Structures are given as C-alpha cells and as structure tokens.
Structure 1
C-alpha cells in the first residue's frame, strides 16, 4: 500500500472502518495488480494507463466507491439489488452492509475494458 493510502487510512477514526477500507483497497490491488495506485482529490483511487478506474472515500454512515457516472448507470440494477445507495457518480455502502466483491469486480473489469482506448483521465 502506498504511503499516501496509509496516511488517508490513518485519518479514519473508527478502527473497524479503517480496517474495512484497507481490506477493500488491498483486495482491489490483489485482484487487479495491473492497476496503479493514486491519491488525488483527497481519496485513494486506482488508474489504468493514466485513466481513472475507481476511487473510494468514507463518510460517517458509509464507504463510497466511485467508478464514474456511465458505470453507475450500467450497473444500476446490480447496485440496487445489493441495497447500496446510489449517487450519480458513486455508490454508498453502509458500514453495516457487506461488501459485494463480485459486484466490485464486475464494475472494475467493465471500466478497465471500456476505457482501454481512453487517453484522458476522465471519460469525455
């Protein structure tokens, strides 16, 4: 884990929440070892060939995953089925909910494939 991720994690006051985010970040890196870690906009994120794939953040009631708006639309039914609270560009996983790693894997794999030829950080 890069030092900036550890610094970010250290700011999460609840130890259980801190450990959960660490587990998810490590899972992403182990599952998609080709992704690069980046810390920007005050959140840990993962990129592929310089393009954004997914970012994570925390708030008092939840952990959020942000794969960009088009991906949220693509997976709207699955996100709803997981009972996650969707936003336009991110989803919220309550601390009391399980992390659906299969869904995260599908979202990340979709973004990697969809942005194979993307030459910008964000979708245009």
Structure 2
C-alpha cells in the first residue's frame, strides 16, 4: 500500500489495527483510482476534493466506517447502498467493519459527484 502522508496522523489515531488497515486500504484505493482528486483533512476527517469542491469524506466509529458523499448522492444511490447491505442516513452510509467493501459502488458514487459537481464553485452543493 502507498503511504498516505496527508492521512498519516488521522490513521495513526485509529486504535484498532484492523480498522486502521481497512480505512487505509479504502483511502489508498481512492488515491489510485482517482489520482485527480485532492486528499485533505478537514474537520479532523479524511476527504477528497476536486477543484475546491467536496467529493467524498469518511469518519470512523466503533462499528463502522461512515462514508459521506452528500445528501443528493445518498438519495440517488439509496437502493444500491441498501443492496450492498449498508445502512444509511440522509448524509452518509455505513460500511460495517466486518462487511465487504463494495468498491464498484464507491467508484460509481465518486464518479457521479465528480461529474455532477463539474461546474460547482463552492465547497458544498
């Protein structure tokens, strides 16, 4: 795995080794799959931006990794999120630490946000 300098401090604070490795693997996958995205830490959370606009962010909890792609995107992908076995709120969905990561879904969500926000000049929608 590529060492993610931007996220090193965040990852070091995840006490559970399995959770840290899994989070790092997902962040690393995004860096490799979408090299045009800028990795950043804002509000003490890892996220990716494109031309200064938010694309996707993450946070860790005891039982899951929370994925926050914004409400519009959650609404659009609600059925696919449920079909992947993840629960969600209006603003995020949860990948349980014991669940498989649906990388195809993550890729579709990220691609949608990049395309949908091409002309966005603000951080949030």
TM tier, shorter chain? over 0.9
The runs of 5 or more residues in structure 2 that have no matched partner are none
Q: Distance in 2 between matches of 1:96 and 1:22?
A: 15
**TM-score scaled to structure 2, two decimals?**
0.96
Q: CA deviation at 1:2?
A: 2.6
Corresponding position of 1:109: 111
| Aligned residue pair count | 122
Corresponding position of 1:63: 65
2:90 to 88, 93, 97: 88
**TM-score scaled to structure 1, two decimals?**
0.97
Q: What is the CA RMSD across the aligned residues, in angstroms?
A: 0.6
Q: CA deviation at 1:41?
A: 1.1
**Runs of 4 or more consecutive aligned structure 1 residues displaced over 2 Å after TM superposition:** none
Q: Distance in 1 between matches of 2:90 and 2:44?
A: 19
Q: Distance in 2 between matches of 1:98 and 1:31?
A: 18
